Chains A and B, each alone.
Chain A
Amino acid sequence: MLLLIEQILNGLQFGLLLFLLAAGLTLVFGIMDFVNLAHGSLYMMGAYFAATFVAWTGSFLLGAILALGATLLLGIVLEFTALRHLYGRDHLDHVLATFGLILFFNEAVRLIWGPAGLALPLPDWLTVPVVILPGVHYPAYRLAIIVVALAVALLLYLGVMRTRIGMLIRAGASNREMIGALGINIKLLYTLVFGLGAALAGLAGLMEAPILTVQIGMGENILILAFVVIVIGGIGSIRGAFVAAILVGLIDTLGRAFLPNLLREILSSSAASTAAPALSSMLIYLLMAMVLVVRPEGLFPATRR
């Protein structure tokens, strides 16, 4: 039971991280109709920036904030120099160009930080276990991730739905020419949205950094998961991304934790230990396949233009 609660929380935390990553992807896709494979690279850069700035400043919070700003800036520069010329082009062009960017970022990181991974140590006040229920301890840092990610999700929702800039973003998504004709600087708006997406990816990266090592290619595996999330949730839908991210996070974590034991009940132990790792890593893809069979447009399809 204790293990179950802990694993559910772990799944929730992983799902929320996935949401931060998927939200940026789906925002950029929904509004600019742009497929950004290099989103995982921004996640990686967020983690590297955080490791560097935390080491420089000696403060975790200050370093994290600096890293967030740096990723935002990087996103804006990237959009301004290269990616904005690709809007309106074929999706395949987006895929290839951003694939090139991944190669570039991986090598650039190797050149600057070296091939070995970095560690991002946590400050003492984040390493203590917290009592969440009588007798149930949970690491403070993982709890902090859950809280921060939920807060960001809420802010994102309020920002897109309740503010003037959010209104402009939604208007830009539904009719680009019209909003331009009304005198809104659509290019600037797009740059801002891309920067926001980059910052969200960077936030996910820097929050995950103390749990995993900061290393080259760390953004690639999780990027695929973010793709799975937005395919399940419906591309362009933030609400869909949220629901799907939590779903994927929980299923993946719980599957890895409990599937081996479940299989051992049914199969012989040697067959179970062979099949379990492969099967538990397949779970979310099976979920995706099932969603596709029932609803090819995802759970919450964004309204057609």
Chain B
Amino acid sequence: MKNWPPKEKKMPSRFKRPLGKYKIIKRASCNNCGLCVEVCPYGVYKFRGKNVFISDEYHCIGLSCNQCVEKCPEKALAVVKNPTVEALGDYRWTSDLILSTWYQAETGKPPDNMEYKIGNSGGGFDRLRFDFELEKQNLSLKEHVSTAINLNRRNDGRPQVTISVPWYGGGMSFGSVSLTTMLARARACMEWNSFTCTGEGGYPEALIPYKDHVITQVATGLFGVREETVKRARIVEFKYAQGAKPGLGGHLLGDKVTPDVARMRESVPGISLFSPFPFHSVYSVEDHKKHVDWIKEINPKALISVKVSTPVDVDMVAIGSYYAGAHIIHLDGSYGGTGAAPDIAKKNIAMPIELAIPKVHRFLLEEGIRDEIVIIASGGIRTAYDMAKAIALGADGVVTGTAELVALECTRCGNCERGRGCPRGIATTDPELSSMIELEWATQRISNLFHSWYLQLIDILRHLGMHSITELVGRTDCLFYIDKWSEHA
């Protein structure tokens, strides 16, 4: 395939002093001699006229280098661990993961001095590791490794849809995120021949040029679901439930329902929108089949994806969806991201994705229909390693959400639904806030992150001696689980 993979392009942060692991203190005794500018291998210091200033503090790799500190004739420099980094992050997205995602979004490749594979949640993906000694054989760099997956395995006459990478973007609605964010995701997904999803809040007209790479979501609020939005998509996604708040519908609080959002959703500005749960026309598997048939009638070419949460009987839900005619069963685990959800639902309802995937995979194998349906996993997929582990557990591919926002410099402050929305302009449609992000910058940041993920997936497959990501599906023998866990940073 020509122009594959898409090239990375350096795209630094929007801020003057982006956070890095280390902080540099330049005391007043600095005499602007410029020795640090010469000596630093990472371009931390620069001249502005005759004065030396700290230009890229976040590139500093810290005390293991320490060249500038040692060489400064006036002893004016000090390098310390940045105390703000301790206030950043949590168990799932640690400060290292956030910083390394920013690094990958800037450069297109993984960093070599920060953790970029696992978080610190003490379970699930963070306790699974790849057993790289398993396959002694390593593929040489000359052999081609494919990361593409097919999304239609039903042989039902509908067109095949192949995505060149085993992930696509999760639904983040207009209203919960800005139009710029949605466009950036759509453009990056077009570059990488994958998809993004409109989310619950309707199909903005600005996305139409990218329609071959946009999934229309039909959610319980049925916002913006019209014949034309269903007809123009190659894949239609039914959102029955969302991992982060199973048993509840979407939440969009009043201040975020701006006039544009209200128009798209045919509602009133300033009034909070709580989507119902469930679909009030679906109370059984038979109703579900009717639902699927409805969309299939309107769009004879579209593939159907069914997005569900992970209850105890998720395997039953999966098989029910298969018999109802779905092509993709999309499992959304409980630790996924959201714009707003009750804390009790995020933590307690339904199971995390790592525990649901093997259940569904095994059950569908036993039922003999595993190779006729595609399992997509989402809910807390943060890194390329999480992705590969999800596939090894039994999924065909994954859906990402939060990771793409972190690429746009989300700090996981959690203020998404507070007032006008995201203070960084990502998860908001407030005109002033969303102008903080520029479309070209955002597109390239996401594309760079994808590039880094692509490199890592290829690397994992090469280590495992596999020529295609499809060979990794269900290969739990490539994993091992860390039994004794000690809580440490």
> Is this pair of chains taken from one and the same complex?
no
